A and B are shown apart, each in its own frame.
Chain A
Amino acid sequence: MIAAFMLNVPATSGLSHLRLRKINREKTTVFIPQKILFWLFACLIFSAASHAEEPKAVIGYVMKAEGEAFVTLDGITQPAVIGLPLQVGSSLNTGTEGSMGVTLADNTVMSFGPNTEVSLDAFLYKPDQGDLKLSTRISRGTLNFISGVIAKLKPEAVEINTPTGTIGVRGTHFLVKVDS
């Protein structure tokens, strides 16, 4: 069975295609002072640059959820279910009976008890380019944290912020409680 697969090696490459976006330009006949024109131009370039960015990367998934547990991203709140993707900017919330566990792409594991609010503020995981960063914030509740590869490769790149202190990780397992 295994040998059969060895013979059948696919020849396709895993490269994805670059997506191009159109930018609509409008002609205007209204007189615009040069200064304003400059800023408009600057804004156009800025927005074109930010539009050209890739869609936000998935940095991890909800792997456990119980009771009231929610994930909010860009103002949209969804119930936390197993397999729900997480991105930078995702905010994780649990209610009085809720709990949730997530696993990030670098093998960092975090889980939360009830009445907890945590946000995923930064995540970079490109070991071959040395781009490594993990920054989360717990504003209330309880957090169980087991560090992953980022903390192993670059400990100073991992930080957990609380309203009254910052925790730097030197590769380990710890618990945080923040009383609101």
Chain B
Amino acid sequence: MRYASLRWLGLLCFATIASGCASKSYVVLLESPDGTTGAIVVQTSQGVTRIDKKHQGIALDSRSSQTFTVAQTRLDKDFSAAMSAQPILPKSYLLYFELGDTKLTADSEAKIPEVIQTIRDRGPSAVSVIGHTDTASGDVWNERLGLMRAQTIAKLLKANGLQAIELIVTSHGESNLLVKTPNETREPKNRRVEVTIR
């Protein structure tokens, strides 16, 4: 009886060792969509491990905190379904405005057709339109000007057949500067509307 259970224990140990390098639960780092590779920090009962090379993996359920390289064939086998269910990545546009106005700069006006085309190509999307201003004039007015700018763009998108799951139109006024400036500073890069399509 005792020997039988020892044999089982031995088998179990062997199975654990054999599956050690093909761990069942693991995490693996990939290249980011922008071409860089970031990092993850993985905490298990074995401690904390930082992973910062692409295709480097670590087991989540083993006694080892050794990292390993995951072959492409294994990635395909384990993750092809998850990868092919990945939604199109969000895309943002910055549209710039004339001083104290809801009139787009000529360059940004020329960009509008591209924004509209992107939304059409993606199908139903969640769209956010956030208006910003520079620090010229008071913050109450700028909150309002930012909203007017955002509404101008939202109206434009709707008039061009925007089919949005969600359309959020809001203003950050002068509180979210792209280029940090002191108060009462005219800065063309801060007079903008950010359209995010996700």
Contacts and interface: CB of A to CB of B under 8 A. Distances in A.
B195 to A, nearest CB: 13
A48 B173 CA distance: 34
A99 B166 contact: no
B165 A61 contact: yes
B165 A172 contact: no
Contacts of A51: none
A166 B82 contact: no
Size class of the B contact interface (CB-based, 8 Å):
35 or more
Contacts of B109: 2
Interface in A81-116: 82-83, 99-103, 105, 107, 109, 111-114, 116
Interface magnitude class on chain A: 35 or more
Contact of A144 (B24, B45, B82): B82
B78 A142 contact: yes
A75 interface: no
Interface in A146-180: 146-148, 162-179
B8 interface: no
B178 interface: no
B8 to A, nearest CB: 21
Given A100-B85, A128-B172, A175-B75, 11 more contacts: A2-B156, A83-B124, A111-B82, A113-B81, A164-B25, A169-B40, A170-B41, A170-B52, A171-B39, A177-B25, A177-B26
